[in-house]
Amino acid sequence: MVVSELSVNRPIDVTLSAIYYAGFSTLLIAVLFWQLLVHGTRERWFDALFPVLFMLVLSLIPAVISLGLWTLDNAARIGSLIFAFLHIIVTAVHIGHIPTSRILLPATRIALDLLIIVAMVRPGVRRAFQWETAELRLGLRKPV
């Protein structure tokens, strides 16, 4: 007897976006800890604790979005749109402050964010994030 069957029809662009956000979060966390281990802090650890924890929480946001995309949570789809849009704005401002010889990586990040935005608003992706009604069967029988 099959009690439940779990099948997820996750579009490939959602899977790739989830992997991108997980990798981005991993990179942010790795850079944060690398900076702490290699360069340390100039302040006392007690004074640096709040900024370090704040940066750690910020670097976990893409990981939470990644998990939500992986489980097809519509709030994560909306969160990924907001995050990609904000990331484009921050990167565009950053491009204005760097020499043109170093513009390739930020331009690539903007292109990836634009691809994520396009992917998340596609009708097939939006349909994958919709809830489906399911019939609840408890297996209870009426007494004879």
Distance from C-alpha of 124 to C-alpha of 103, rounded to nearest angstrom: 33
Tens digits of residue pLDDT in 76-120: 999 999 999 999 999 999 999 999 899 999 999 999 999 999 999
Domains of the chain, residue spans: 12-128
DSSP conformational letter for 71: T
Determine the average pLDDT of the residues in 34-60: 88
Determine the average pLDDT of the residues in 3-30: 86
Determine the average pLDDT of the residues in 124-135: 84
pTM: 0.79
φ/ψ of 116, rounded to 5, equals -65, -45
Neighbours of 21 (CB within 10 A): 26
Confidence band, pLDDT 50/70/90 cuts, at residue 142: low
Distance from C-alpha of 69 to C-alpha of 119, rounded to nearest angstrom: 12
Identify the residue with better confidence: 5 or 133: 133
Burial class (CB in 10 A: 0-12, 13-18, 19+), 84: buried
